[in-house]
Structure 1
Amino acid sequence: MKGKVAEMKQPEKMEVENYDLPRPEKGAMLLKVRRTNVCGSEIHIWKGHHPTKKQGVLGHEMVGEIAELGEGTLTDFSGEEIKVGDRITSTYFQTCRKCAMCRKGAFNLCENAYEFWNKPAAEAPHFHGSFASHYYVHPDVYFYKVPDNIPDKVAASANCALSQVYFGLERADLKYGESVVIQGAGGLGLNAAAVAKEKGAIVIVIDGVAPRLENAKKFGADHVIDMNEYSTPEERAERVKELTDGEGADVGMELSGVPAAFQEGIHLVASGGRYVSIGNISPGQMTEFDPGLMTRKSITIYPIVRYHPWFLKKSLDFLEQNIEKYPFEDMIDGEFDFKNIQEALDQSAARKVNRASITFEE
């Protein structure tokens, strides 16, 4: 049997190719992709902005059903039994458990995390990304069974935005009754708002787009700050203080991907506070910063890349418990057939849709 793979031959040029379906090795599995999303990192590569990735199979936010199991693959990474036909989502990176970072317990920083990421389709096992009819899950990739009450539309994004911000909030040790200010009300920000709210925090969200701020309220924001109304960093910092008894937030989160937001963040956080940086991932994008203020306020900064892989299970549990409470499905505002995958990327890059999702015909 053959499957289809959409491979980026060069930035902004995609071709669909057919390859024989691989037999999974011991500890691996082959998934049939049910739904996959266009993440910001894919847009970054698609537009040619990544320093090294100029071709290969894209896609990592996905949910699939087991098509074939390799020898010895009997349970997911939580010990739950699995079988052909079960819905699965996996981390988009591997955890080798052997490199220097893994040996230190920093599994999110595995030096071999992307060993199989974004490879050319011609290289076996061909199905390296989720922009394809099938997806190969290697032995060192954590995966979990998707609870029955989580629809594909929601499950597809659990392994990226939700797991990432969940990890960041726990790294910052957000406590019940504390305040958190979130910069950016995109997918990361909305997920962060929901998790923070369920942790019992007072949630403040900053953005400059009215519909995004309205969404933030639906995802648990107690207060929103419109950048059109509070147009300067000084005004926004003062507003955060007004909402936090004159102190500033206990925890701040940069989720916008805008370098200037990072330097603004320490002005929003109280003395002794914690600041989580997730959105800015592109080296070389510079901004001014006041290190003296950071020192004087004794702010702890947590840069977050990826997450400890078991946070995917925590995210699935979170969705299972809160699927009726927050409108997770509404985060997807554009749906495309696999044959229109290039259109999905182009519209996402042009910001005509906030989050595109790609489905596959039976």
Structure 2
Amino acid sequence: MTSSMGTVPVRYARWNGVGSEFTLVSDSTPRVPARGELLVRIDLATVCGSDLHTVEGRRPSPVPAVLGHEQVGTVLGVGRGGVSCVDGTPVVPGMRVVWSVTASCGSCDRCARGLTQKCVKLSKYGHQPLLEEAPLTGGFATHCVVLPGTAVVAVPDTLPDTVASPASCATATAAAAMVAAGPVAGRRVLVTGAGMLGLTVVAMAATAGASVSAADPDPARRRQALTFGAREVGDGSAPLGAFDIAMEFSGHPDGVRTCLDSLAVGGVAVLVGSVSPGQPVALDPEALVRGLHTVVGVHNYRPEDLLTAVEFLAAHHGSVPFAELVGTAHPLDQVDTAMVAARHGAAPRQALAPGLTGTPV
């Protein structure tokens, strides 16, 4: 469509279902968003594991849809009434921001209990059915309309897009897992699954003063875990000891069993990776009771966790190699290629740069 004075030309990658290629759609959107909304130009989006699971049919999703929920962008328009960041800073045009994967109503019983990430009226970016009149609900697009009830955090100019983009899912979820684990300074922490989230938690726990061990069957991931602060690594086939805190990010039943079986007396197991249907894992209630163990599940995150994520990345990206976790940046019209690279690439994340044309970089 040709834009007028009141609209902005946009493009989005429409996912057409398992086994189908994406379709690039050109459209337009109002330059000034509705009350409480933001119009954000997406500068970089990263392909999360759940995006890949959706495309492969391992995760249920509406069809068609605009996928993607890890992104960083620049604010172009602010709706009536204004929008504030999590820390209270007013959002203004030109501000670089990340935003949460969820939008919550703020008034239901779950929101009242502080469980905004499980709002009964929850909307999730990258997981909504595509509405032609309002399609900009995911990160695989040139723009996104950020809805009321979405946590927004400003991104410092010193933080590269490749480091900031995963904050919207991976880093914020890692921050939520750290909250669930409790204080880690001086404690032994086990991390199973050294992908994007696991590596992030290794860095968070190590910088907070924990002695961190990581388990992953992939030798390349084990080597990366050492560069992110792990003291020792293993392939998960043999115990690494007894731990005060065991955190699971692989979603594999073996990883869950390892976490539950590795707890010392008073230990806490934090389960994060089991977000798709899988084999049940046996739980020994006597061991749980006699060991004074705690088992906690983490899914999505609170607004404060997104702020923590950005602050952590800003403080530590110079000394921890987060930029190495994001691979090639593909143009938006090469989203299918990016998905293949996400499946087979060495980096935990591949990227889409909607403003990029031509050869991937």
- TM-score, reference length from structure 2: 0.91
8 Å Cα contact 2:332-2:354 kept in structure 1:
yes
- Specify the code of the residue in structure 2 equivalent to 1:298: L
Counterpart residue identity of residue 6, structure 1: A
Aligned-partner Cα distance in 2 for 1:316–1:136 = 21
Provide the rounded CA distance (Å) in 2 between the counterparts of 1:349 and 1:54. 21
The letter of the residue matching 2:272 is I
- Match for 1:151 among 136, 160, 166? 160
Structure 2 gap ranges (5+): 4-8, 357-361
What's the CA shift for 1:165?
1.5
**The one of 9, 17, 22 aligned to 2:16:** 9
What letter matches 1:48 in structure 2? G
Q: CA deviation at 1:351?
A: 5.3
- Given that 1:193 and 1:220 are in contact with CA atoms closer than 8 Å, whether structure 2 keeps it comes out as yes
CA distance in 1, matches of 2:320, 2:346: 24
Task: Compute the displacement of 1:52 (Å).
Answer: 4.7
Does 2:290 correspond to 1:296? yes
Q: Distance between the aligned counterparts of 2:277 and 2:13, measured in 1?
A: 28
**Root mean square deviation, CA, Å:** 1.8
Question: TM-score, structure 1 length as denominator?
Answer: 0.91
Q: Say whether residues 1:346 and 2:340 are aligned partners.
A: yes
- 1:271 paired residue number: 265
TM-superposed deviation, 1:86: 1.5
Could you say what secondary structure the match of 1:142 adopts?
strand
1:20 equivalent in alignment to 2:14: no
CA distance in 1, matches of 2:90, 2:124: 27
CA deviations 1:278-314 (Å, max 9, x no partner) are 0011135433333332223221001000111121111
Q: Which sections of structure 1, spanning at least 5 residues, go unmatched?
A: 242-247
Structure 2 equivalent of residue 31 of structure 1: 40
- Aligned equivalents of 2:130, 2:24: Cα separation in 1: 10
Q: Percent identity?
A: 28
Aligned with residue 184 of structure 2, among 175, 178, 197? 175
8 Å Cα contact 2:101/2:125 also seen in 1: no
- Kindly state the Cα deviation for residue 193 of structure 1 after the two structures are TM-superposed: 0.6
Deviation at 1:115, TM superposition (A): 5.9
The reply to whether residue 282 of structure 1 matches residue 276 of structure 2 is yes
| Partner residue, 1:327 | 321
- The amino acid of 1:334's aligned partner reads T
* Cross-structure match for 1:56: 65
1:57 alignment partner, SS class: coil
Is residue 42–residue 354 contact of structure 2 (8 Å, CA) maintained in 1? yes
2:243 aligned partner = 249
SS at match of 1:19: strand
Asked if structure 1 preserves the Cα contact closer than 8 Å seen for 2:128 and 2:137, the reply is yes
Task: Specify the SS of the correspondent of 2:246.
Answer: strand
Distance 1:167 1:126 in 2: 29
Deviates more, 1:63-72 or 1:14-23: 14-23
Residues 225-264 of structure 1: pairs in structure 2 closer than 5 A: 225-227=234-236, 231=237, 235-236=238-239, 240-241=240-241, 248-264=242-258
Asked if 1 retains the 8 angstrom alpha-carbon contact of 2:110 and 2:118, the reply is yes
Offset at residue 77 of structure 1 (A): 2.6
- Distance (Å, rounded) in 1 between the aligned partners of 2:194 and 2:164: 20
Q: Deviations over 1:186-228 (max 9, x none)?
A: 101110011101211111111121221111111111111134x
Give, as a single letter, the amino acid of the residue that structure 2 aligns with 1:280.
S
Which runs of structure 2 are paired with 1:312-323 in the superposition (5 Å)? 312-323=306-317
Quote the residue 2:359 is aligned against.
none
**Contact 1:216/1:224, CA 8 A, preserved across alignment:** yes
Distance 2:84 2:108 in 1: 25
SS in 2 for 1:196: helix
Residue type of the alignment partner of 1:303 = G
CA distance, structure 1, for counterparts of residue 307 and residue 143 of structure 2: 22
Q: Deviations over 1:29-49 (max 9, x none)?
A: 111110001101111111112
Q: Residues 93-151 of structure 1, C-alpha deviation per residue, up to 9 Å, x if partnerless? A: 01211122112122222222226653344433210101001011001111011011110
CA separation in 1, counterparts of 2:81 and 2:265?
A: 52
CA distance, structure 2, for counterparts of residue 169 and residue 253 of structure 1: 9
Q: Cα distance 1:347–1:175, how it changes in 2: closer, same or farther (>3 A)?
A: closer
1:206 aligns with 2:215: yes
Going from structure 1 to structure 2, the CA distance change for 1:82 and 1:114 (only over 3 Å counts) comes to closer
Secondary structure of the structure 2 residue equivalent to 1:205: strand
- What is the CA distance between 1:53 and its match in structure 2? 3.2
Shift of 1:355: 1.3
Matched, 1:224 2:233: yes
Q: Is the 8 A contact 1:259 1:286 kept in 2?
A: yes
Per-residue CA deviation, residues 72-97 of structure 1 (Å, 9 max, x unaligned), is: 22542312243222211000101211
2: CA distance, partners of 1:327 / 1:352: 15
Cα pair 1:63 1:87 within 8 Å, conserved: yes
Which residue matches 1:84?
93
